[in-house]
Amino acid sequence: MIRILLIGIALTFIGGLLFAPLAMVFVSGLEHGLGAWFHSFTDSDTGAAIRLTLLTAAIVVPLNTVFGICAAWCIAKFEFPGKSMLVTLIDLPLAVSPVVSGLIYVLMFGLQGWFGAWLQDHDISIIYAVPGIVLATMFVTFPYVARELIPLMQQMGNDEEEAAITLGAGGWFTFFHVTLPRIRWGLAYGVILCNARAMGEFGAVSVVSGHIRGLTNTMPLHIEILYQEYNYVGAFAVASLLSLLAVVTLIVKTMLEWRTGIRHH
C-alpha cells in the first residue's frame, strides 16, 4: 500500500516536472508538421545561431579536455603542497552563478574594464563578440572533464605507468598506450557533459553576447529572442533541437554508466 503510494508520488513528481516539459517541447516543435519544423531552420539568423553554438563548442570542448587531462595527470600522479586547494579551485566555477561568470569577463574586457581601453585602441572586441562568448563558455564548463578524471585516475594508481616507464617507454607513449585506454570511458563521460553544457549555456553567454542577431546569438539565446517576438514555432523548433542533444547526451551517459558500472555525479 505504502509502496504503491510512494511510487505514485515519485512518478507524478517526475512526470509533471521533467517528463511533461520535455514532451511539450517536442509536441510544440512538431505542432505544424515536420515540414514547418525543417522550415524554421532555413531562417538565416537561426542558421547563424546554430553555427555559432557549434563553433563555440568546437573551441571550448577540446581546450577543456586538454586542461582536464593535464590537471588529472598532475593531481592524480604526484604529491605536492597545495593539491587539495588546487582541486577546490578547479571546481569553483560550478559554484558561481552563470550571470556572475559572464560579469567577470565584462569587468575584464568590457569598455570600462581592466583591458577595455587597450583593446579599443587596438580595435579588438571581446565583449559583445565571439571571443567573449567562448571565454564565458570556457569558464562555466571548466571543471567538467577534470572532475571526472581526477578521482578515476587517483583510484587507478601509478603502478602500470611506472612499469611502462621502467621498461623504457617514453612519456607520450605511456600516456597513449597505458593511461588513455584505461580512462577512455571516464574521459568520454566528461567530454559529453562538457559539450552539453557548452552548447546549452544561457546565463553567462547572455551577459557577454550583446544579442546581435546573426552575429553573437547562440542557440539558447536565439530561443529567447524568438520567444520574445512571439515566434513560438521557431522558438520550439530550436528548443526541440537542443532537447534532442540533451536526450542523446543522456542516452550516451546512461550507456557509459552501465558499461563502467559506476555512477558519476
Partner 1 sequence: MISLRRERSVIPGFGITLGFTTFFLCAIVLLPLTALVMKGASMDFARFIQVITAPRALASYRLTFGASLTAATINIVFGFIVAWVLVRYRFPGRRFVDAIIDMPFALPTAVSGLALTAVFAGNGWIGQYLEPLGIKVAYTPIGITLALTLIGMPFVVRTVQPALQELPKDVEEAAATLGARPVYIFFRVILPAVLPAVLTGFTLAFARAVGEYGSVTFIAGNIPLHTEITPLLIIIRLEEYDYAAAAALGCVMLAVSFLMLLTINLLQHWGRRRLTGGARA
Q: Which 55-94 residues touch partner 1, going by CB under 8 A?
A: 67, 70-71, 73-75, 77-80, 86, 88-90, 92-93
Backbone conformation region of residue 178, classed left if phi is above 0, alpha if psi is from -120 to 50, else beta: alpha
Going by C-alpha positions, the residue among 188, 175, 117, 178 that lies closest to residue 149 is 188
Q: Which one, 119 or 161, has the nearer CB to partner 1?
A: 161
Q: Which one, 116 or 214, has the nearer CB to partner 1?
A: 116
Q: DSSP of the chain, one letter per residue? A: -HHHHHHHHHHHHHIIIIIHHHHHHHHHHTTTHHHHHHHHTTSHHHHHHHHHHHHHHHHHHHHHHHHHHHHHHHHHH---TTHHHHHHHHHHHHHS-HHHHHHHHHHHHSTTSTTHHHHHHTT---TTSHHHHHHHHHHHHTTHHHHHHHHHHHHH-SHHHHHHHHTT--HHHHIIIIIHHHHHHHHHHHHHHHHHHHHH--HHHHHHH---TTTT--HHHHHHHHHHTT-HHHHHHHHHHHHHHHHHHHHHHHHHHHHH-----
Using CB under 8 A, which of the segments 34-42, 118-126, 157-165, 183-191 binds partner 1? 157-165
The residue within the footprint of partner 1, chosen from 1, 3, 81, 121 (CB under 8 A), is 3
Nearest-approach distance from CB 97 to partner 1, in angstroms: 3
One character per residue 170-209, x = contact with partner 1 (rule: CB under 8 A): -x--xx-----------------x--x--xxxxx--xx--
Nearest-approach distance from CB 93 to partner 1, in angstroms: 6
The residue within the footprint of partner 1, chosen from 152, 194, 223, 237 (CB under 8 A), is 223
Cα distance from N-terminal residue to C-terminal residue, the chain:
32
Q: Which one, 10 or 58, has the nearer CB to partner 1?
A: 10
Nearest-approach distance from CB 124 to partner 1, in angstroms: 17
Q: Which one, 187 or 196, has the nearer CB to partner 1?
A: 196
Q: Does 157 bind partner 1 (CB under 8 A)?
A: no
Using CB under 8 A, which of the segments 1-9, 37-45, 118-126, 182-190 binds partner 1? 1-9
Q: Does 41 bind partner 1 (CB under 8 A)?
A: no
The residue within the footprint of partner 1, chosen from 214, 246, 256, 260 (CB under 8 A), is 246
186/159 Cα distance (integer angstroms)? 19
List the grid coordinates of 80: 605536492
Binding residues for partner 1, rule CB under 8 A, total: 93
Q: Which one, 124 or 250, has the nearer CB to partner 1?
A: 250
Q: Does 110 bind partner 1 (CB under 8 A)?
A: yes
The residue within the footprint of partner 1, chosen from 156, 185, 227, 260 (CB under 8 A), is 227
Q: What part of residues 113-152 is at the interface with partner 1 (CB under 8 A)?
A: 113-114, 135, 138-139, 142
